[in-house]
Amino acid sequence: MPGYVCPECGLDYDNVQPPDAKVAIASYPRRYRAELAGALDDPDGGDALIRRRPDAATWSALEYTAHVADLDEAFADIVRRMNLEDRPTLTMFDPDERAASDRYNEQDPAAVLDRFAANAEALVAAIGQVDADGWQRTASFPWGERDLLTMVRNAVHEGTHHLRDVARVLAAARAARP
């Protein structure tokens, strides 16, 4: 998706190169942990704050965090397969189905953050295995063909975009307290 700039979070895909992606992805577990820790330390909310949905259609901070943790695992597999296989056909999980089936909002925050750190590390390692010629390798997805660089940029976008979502839903949850 060359030339794509997210209208909500402002991430410009063209500005994300593989070294930048590795740094960004490696930083997300720490940054999400800081957001959740700030809420968990809140004497007037704590655990309930990170689980509060601002409305029925919007995930909680914990759900967004679990989602990005699981995306990092999926993206690590996608990067590995695209790097090793010739034009694989790949899929991605349905995020809403996964959130419901895995009960994201009932998960232990510490376990989610630990999983996030491990999955981000695996994704960074997979990106590190791609050589200079590998970024143009392609795969077929249900939504069309994508190159490896675009998929890594997608991973960065998910982390960046949902970190803003976490901050936004936590602010809404704080504002909605009685």
Decide: 60 and 51 in contact? Cβ < 8 Å. yes
* pLDDT score recorded for residue 43: 77
Q: By the 8 A CB rule, do 45 and 174 touch?
A: yes
Please give the pLDDT value at position 177. 76
Specify whether the backbone of 6 is left (phi greater than 0), alpha (psi in -120 to 50) or beta: beta
Q: What is the pLDDT of residue 142?
A: 95
Counting as low any pLDDT under 70, the low residues of the chain are 1-2, 178
Q: For domain 13-175, give its CATH number from 1.20.120.160, 3.40.50.10420, 1.20.120.450, 3.30.750.24.
A: 1.20.120.450
pLDDT of residue 10: 94
Question: What pLDDT is attached to residue 41?
Answer: 83
Give the 3-state DSSP-derived string for 26-60, with helices as H, strands as E and coil as C: HHHHHHHHHHHHHHHCCCCCCHHHHHCCCCCCCCC
